[in-house]
Structure 1
Amino acid sequence: METHNSLEEKFEFTGTAKTVSLIAIVLGVVAIVVGLMMGGVHVQRTFTNLLLMSYYFVCVCTAGVFFCAYQYAAQAGWSASLIRIPQAFAKVLPFASLILILVVTAGLFTTHEIEFEGHKQVVPYLYASWATHGLTIVGEENYNAVIAGKSAFLNVGFFYGMLIVLLGAYSYLGLALAKASENEDTVGGMSNYDKSFKLSCIFLVIFGFTFPIFAFGTIMSLEAHWFSTMFGWYNLAAMHVSGLAIIALVIILLRKKGNFLWLSENHLHSLGKLMFGFSIFWTYVWFAQFFLTWYANIPEESVYFFRRWEPEFKWLFWLNIVVNFLAPLLLLMSRDAKRLTNRMMWTCIILITGHWLDYYLMTMPGTIPSEHSGFGVEEIGIFLGFAGLFTFMMLTQLSKFKSLVPKKHPFLQESLHHHI
Structure 2
Amino acid sequence: MSFREQFEIPAKYKMWSMILMGVGLVSILAGYFLYGAGDEHHQARFWGTMLFNSVFFLLVVNASMFFICATTLAMGGWQMAFRRVPEAISTAVIPLGIIALVVLLALVLGHQHHIYHWLTPGDDKILLGKSGFLNPTFFIVWTVLTIGLWIILGAKMRSLSRELDEKGPLTVEEGRKYIFKNTIWGSLFLVWFALTVASVTPWLWLMSIDAHWYSTMYSWYTFASSFVAGMSLVTLFVIYLKNKGYLELVNQEHLHDLGKFMFAFSVFWTYLWFSQYMLIWYANIPEETVYFKHRVQGPYRGIFFLNLIVNFLAPLLILMRRSSKRNYTLLVFMAVLIIFGHWVDFYQMVMASVSKEHVELNLFDFGVAAGFIGIIMWSAGNALSKHSLIAKNHPFFKESVIHHT
Contact 2:24 2:368 in 1 (8 A): yes
1:360 offset after TM fit, Å? 0.6
Distance in 2, matches of 1:34 and 1:42, equals 13
Match of 1:114 in 2: none
Superposition map of 1:349-360 within 5 A: 349-360=336-347
Match of 1:108 in 2: 108
2:119 to 121, 128, 131: 131
Match of 1:272 in 2: 259
Distance in 1, matches of 2:103 and 2:147, equals 14
Distance in 2, matches of 1:160 and 1:131, equals 13
**SS in structure 1 of the partner of residue 158 of structure 2:** helix
Match of 2:218 in 1: 231
Distance in 2, matches of 1:394 and 1:56, equals 17
Normalized against structure 1, the TM-score is what?
A: 0.90
Normalized against structure 2, the TM-score is what?
A: 0.93
Q: Percent identity?
A: 36
Distance in 2, matches of 1:297 and 1:67, equals 37
* AA at the equivalent of 1:377: L
Does 295-304 or 256-265 show the bigger shift? 256-265
Contact 2:105 2:140 in 1 (8 A): no
The alignment of Structure 1 onto Structure 2 pairs a total of residues equal to 394
Deviation digits for residues 183-205 of structure 1 (CA, Å, limit 9, x no counterpart): 12222422333211221122223
**SS in structure 1 of the partner of residue 368 of structure 2:** helix
1:98 offset after TM fit, Å? 1.3
Superposition map of 1:147-166 within 5 A: 147-166=127-146
Does structure 1 residue 202 correspond to structure 2 residue 188?
yes
Superposition map of 1:397-408 within 5 A: 397-401=383-387, 403-408=388-393
Match of 2:27 in 1: 31
Distance in 2, matches of 1:170 and 1:232, equals 17
Match of 2:7 in 1: 11
Does 299-308 or 252-261 show the bigger shift? 252-261
Deviation digits for residues 205-263 of structure 1 (CA, Å, limit 9, x no counterpart): 33223322111111111111110010011111111101000000111122222222321
**SS in structure 2 of the partner of residue 364 of structure 1:** helix
**SS in structure 1 of the partner of residue 258 of structure 2:** helix
Match of 1:256 in 2: 243
Match of 2:396 in 1: 411
* AA at the equivalent of 1:105: L
Match of 1:285 in 2: 272
1:97 offset after TM fit, Å? 1.4
Deviation digits for residues 84-126 of structure 1 (CA, Å, limit 9, x no counterpart): 0111122221322111110112223446xxxxxxxxxxx5453
Does 242-251 or 377-386 show the bigger shift? 377-386
Match of 2:367 in 1: 381
Does 249-258 or 6-15 show the bigger shift? 6-15
Contact 1:92 1:393 in 2 (8 A): yes
* AA at the equivalent of 2:396: F
1:171 offset after TM fit, Å? 1.9
Q: CA RMSD in A?
A: 1.6
Higher helix share: 2
Distance in 2, matches of 1:28 and 1:42, equals 19
**SS in structure 1 of the partner of residue 76 of structure 2:** coil
Superposition map of 1:64-75 within 5 A: 64-75=64-75
Distance in 2, matches of 1:162 and 1:239, equals 20
**SS in structure 2 of the partner of residue 312 of structure 1:** coil
Deviation digits for residues 263-291 of structure 1 (CA, Å, limit 9, x no counterpart): 11111100111111111111001100000
Contact 1:279 1:325 in 2 (8 A): yes
1:42 offset after TM fit, Å? 4.3
* AA at the equivalent of 1:409: H
1:8 offset after TM fit, Å? 5.4
